Amino acid sequence: MSETITLMKSHTSVRRFKEEAIPQEDLNEILSAAQMASSWKNFQSYSVILVRSQEKKDALFELVPQEAIRQSAAFLLFVGDLNRAEKGAHLHTDTFQPQGVEGLLITSVDAALAGQNTLLAAESLGYGGVIIGLVRYKSVELAELFKLPDYTYPVFGIALGVPNQKHAVKPRLPLEHVVFEEEYQEQSTEAIEAYDRVQTEYAGARATTTWSQRLAEQFGNPEPSSTRENLEQKKLL
Ligand SMILES: Cc1cc2nc3c(=O)[nH]c(=O)nc-3n(C[C@H](O)[C@H](O)[C@H](O)COP(=O)(O)O)c2cc1C
C-alpha cells in the first residue's frame, strides 16, 4: 500500500486535544494543500475562517456545545461562498441569480473536498481532528458571530489539534454494499441489520443507539429550520 492509502485507512475522528498550538507554518502547509482540491469550474466556492482565540472558540462552544471545539488548537469554519462569485459576475452582467439547489451543491461540494483535504493533510503531520456539521443547526447565530455576508453560509467546521485520545478505526459498510457494478442495487434490510451489529460491537460499552436508530433520529424528523432560514437571509434560497 502507498503511504497515502495507509494514512487514509487509519483515519479516526479525534475529539480531545492536548493544550498545544499548531505552528503557523504547519497551518499554512495544511491549508495550502487543502486548496489543491478540485472545485467546480475552479470557482473555489468556499472560504475558511481560522479561529484560534479561546474567546471565540468559547463563544462558538456556547452555541454548539461540542467539546472538540473548545479544546481545539484551531477551529476552521468552512463557509460556502458565492460572495466572490457575485463580485466576479458583476464585472460582466447586472444579473446574479445563485438561488437554488445547484448553487448550494456547488458550494457544499467544493467546501467538502477542501475540508477532507484539510483533515488528511493535518493527519499526515500527526495532528487529529473532527468535522463538526452541527454548526449548521446554529447557522443564523454563526453568520452573526463570524460576520458572514450575503451569498455565504456555514457548511461545517473542523476542530484540529494534537490528539489526546486514540480510537480503533471505525468499520465501514462492506464495500459491496456501497460500490455497485454497472447499476444501482437497493440494500436488503438484513444488510442494514448486519451493519447495525458491526457498529454496536465496535462501539462496545459506549453504544447507546444503533446505526439505524441514528438514521431514524436524523431523518424521522423535519430538518432543523435554522439552516434554511439562514440560506434565505443570505439570498441563497
Ligand atoms: C459532514 C460531517 C459532519 C460531522 N459532524 C460531526 C459533529 O457535529 N460532531 C461530531 O462529533 N462528529 C461529526 N462528524 C464526524 C463523524 O461522526 C465521523 O466522521 C463518523 O462517525 C465516522 O467516524 P470516523 O471519522 O472516526 O471514522 C461529522 C462528519 C461529517 C463528514
pLDDT tens profile 68-123: 999 999 999 999 999 999 999 999 999 999 999 999 999 999 999 999 999 999 99
Number of residues in the chain: 237
- pLDDT (0 to 100) of residue 231: 97
- pLDDT (0 to 100) of residue 212: 97
- pLDDT (0 to 100) of residue 93: 97
Q: Atom 3 of ligand 1 has which residue's CA nearest to it?
A: 133
Q: 158 exposed, middle or buried (CB, 10 Å; 0-12, 13-18, 19+)?
A: buried
Report the alpha-carbon distance of residue 170 to residue 174 in Å, rounded: 12
Least confident span in 29-43, 109-123, 152-166, 194-208? 194-208
User: Residue 207 pLDDT more than 90?
Assistant: no
Give the rounded percent of residues in the chain with a pLDDT score beyond 90. Answer: 97
Contacts for 22 with CB less than 8 Å, ≥ 6 apart = 30, 73, 74, 127, 160, 161, 162
pLDDT higher for 225 or 61?
Answer: 61
Contacts for 17 with CB less than 8 Å, ≥ 6 apart = 68, 71, 72, 73, 128, 159, 160, 161, 162, 163, 164
Q: Atom 31 of ligand 1 has which residue's CA nearest to it?
A: 131
Closest by CA to 16, choosing from 135, 123, 163, is 163
- pLDDT (0 to 100) of residue 37: 98
pTM, to two decimals:
0.97
Report the alpha-carbon distance of residue 157 to residue 139 in Å, rounded: 12
Range 31-47 average pLDDT: 98
- State in Å: Cα 130 to ligand 1 middle: 6
User: Residue 206 pLDDT more than 90?
Assistant: no
- pLDDT (0 to 100) of residue 224: 80
- State in Å: Cα 95 to ligand 1 middle: 38
pLDDT in tens, 112-160: 999 999 999 999 999 999 999 999 999 999 999 999 999 999 999 999 9
User: Residue 175 pLDDT more than 90?
Assistant: yes
Q: Which residues pair with 156 in a beta bridge?
A: 78
Q: Which triple of cell numbers denotes residue 44?
A: 473555489
Q: Where are the alpha helices (DSSP H) in the chain?
A: 3-9, 24-34, 54-63, 67-71, 83-89, 101-124, 139-145, 189-203, 211-219, 225-233
**Is the sign of the CA dihedral 172, 174, 178, 181 positive or negative?**
positive
Q: 132 exposed, middle or buried (CB, 10 Å; 0-12, 13-18, 19+)?
A: buried
Give the rounded percent of residues in the chain with a pLDDT score beyond 70. Answer: 100
First-to-last CA distance in the chain?
44
Report the alpha-carbon distance of residue 214 to residue 232 in Å, rounded: 28
- pLDDT (0 to 100) of residue 2: 97
Range 215-220 average pLDDT: 96
Report the alpha-carbon distance of residue 107 to residue 105 in Å, rounded: 6
Q: Atom 6 of ligand 1 has which residue's CA nearest to it?
A: 132
Closest by CA to 211, choosing from 184, 160, 171, 161, is 171
- State in Å: Cα 90 to ligand 1 middle: 37
- pLDDT (0 to 100) of residue 205: 84
Looking at ligand 1, which atom is closest to the CA of residue 68? 11
pLDDT band at 227 (very low <50, low <70, confident <90, very high): very high
